[in-house]
Amino acid sequence: MRSSRPERVPRHAARAALVLLLLGVLTMMSACGGDIPLQKQASQERAALDHLLQHAQVIGVPASLLQPVELQEQQLNNTTAPFNPFNSQPENEYYRNLAARYSSLALQVQGLIAASTQQYHAQAQSDIQHLQASLNLRRSQGLPVQQYVQQFSRYQNMMAEARYPKDYAAISKGARSSIEALALLQPLFNQLNTLKNTIHQMQASHLDVTAMQMTYQLDEQALQRATTPLALQRLGTLIDAQYQQMMVNSALALPFIARAKLNEFAQQIDLLKTYGVNASPYQKRLAADQADANKDLSIAEYSALVKRVNSDLKAMQLDLLRGEAGYLVKQFHHEVDSWSNAHLYHDSYDGQNYPLLAGYLQPGVGSDLDNALAGATSLSDYQAVVNDASNDLFDLHMAEADYNDRTPYNQEHATDRQMIEHYQLQNRMVLMVSLVEQTMRVYQNGKLIRAFHVTTGRVELPSVPGVWPVLDRESPTIFRSSEPRSSPYWYPDTPINYAILYHQGGYFVHDSWWRADYGPGTQFPHYDSGGDESFAGNGSHGCINLPEDQAAWVYNHTDWNTLIVVY
In-domain check, residue 560:
yes
CA distance 520 to 345: 11
Number of structural domains, the chain? Answer: 1
Residue 478's H or E segment, with its range, is: strand 477-479
Q: Put the strands of the sheet holding 544-546 in their side by side order.
A: 472-474, 499-503, 507-511, 544-546
In-domain check, residue 562:
yes
C-alpha 229, offset from chain centre: 18
In-domain check, residue 125:
no
pLDDT attached to residue 16: 53
Query: What is the CATH number for 349?
Result: 2.40.440.10
pLDDT attached to residue 1: 42
Among candidates 186, 134, 143, 136, which has minimal Cα distance to 394?
136
Q: What angle do CA 517, 345, 460 make, to 5 degrees?
A: 75
Determine contact, residues 292/282, Cβ cutoff 8 Å: no
In-domain check, residue 353:
yes
Note down the domain range covering 557: 323-566
In-domain check, residue 13:
no
Does 476 sit behind a cis peptide bond, omega within 30 degrees of 0 on the bond before it?
yes
pLDDT attached to residue 26: 44
Residue 384's H or E segment, with its range, is: helix 379-403
In-domain check, residue 193:
no
The string of DSSP letters for 68-135 reads HHHHHHHHHHT------TT--HHHHHHHHHHHHHHHHHHHHHHHHHHHHHHHHHHHHHHHHHHHHHHH
pLDDT attached to residue 532: 79
Determine contact, residues 324/271, Cβ cutoff 8 Å: yes
In-domain check, residue 467:
yes
Q: What is the pTM of this model?
A: 0.79
Q: Write the burial class of residue 402 (CB in 10 Å: 0-12 exposed, 13-18 middle, 19+ buried).
A: buried
pLDDT attached to residue 428: 93
Which residues of the chain fall below pLDDT 70? 1-34, 246-252
In-domain check, residue 522:
yes
DSSP category for residue 418: H
